[in-house]
Amino acid sequence: MSFTQLDPPVPVHVLERGSGQAFAVIDYGPEFDLLWVTGMDEGGEIWCVPNPQVRLQANWSMGRRKGATPSPKIAAVPR
């Protein structure tokens, strides 16, 4: 297991929860999704969000437009 603090935090969008700042990543190894430790902008809750639920926020200067075509859904690996 590894815990990595992100400095600076990464602005992300969590599906079905909204925007936030990821400030750490937890990696339990190859059999598990990465967990993004994210402080949510609205309400200030902190969630450990599985990798498939995290997206980078829109960034005009990087070419990531809001409302751009989403990536295809990846089937979850049964556990």
Predicted TM-score of the model (pTM): 0.76
Strands 2-14 and 54-56: antiparallel
Query: d(Cα 30, Cα 55) in Å, to the nearest integer?
Result: 20
Number of domains in the chain: 1
Q: 7 is in which domain, residue-wise?
A: 2-57
30 near 77, Cβ under 8 Å? Answer: no
The reply to whether 64 falls in a domain is: no
The reply to whether 31 falls in a domain is: yes
Closest CA to 24 of 43, 44, 3, 40: 3
The reply to whether 63 falls in a domain is: no
The reply to whether 25 falls in a domain is: yes
The reply to whether 46 falls in a domain is: yes
pLDDT digits (tens, 9 = 90+) for 6-50: 999 999 999 999 999 999 999 999 999 999 999 999 999 999 999
pLDDT at res. 18: 93
pLDDT at res. 79: 47
**What confidence category does residue 59 fall into, taking pLDDT thresholds of 50, 70 and 90?**
confident
The reply to whether 40 falls in a domain is: yes
The reply to whether 50 falls in a domain is: yes
The reply to whether 70 falls in a domain is: no
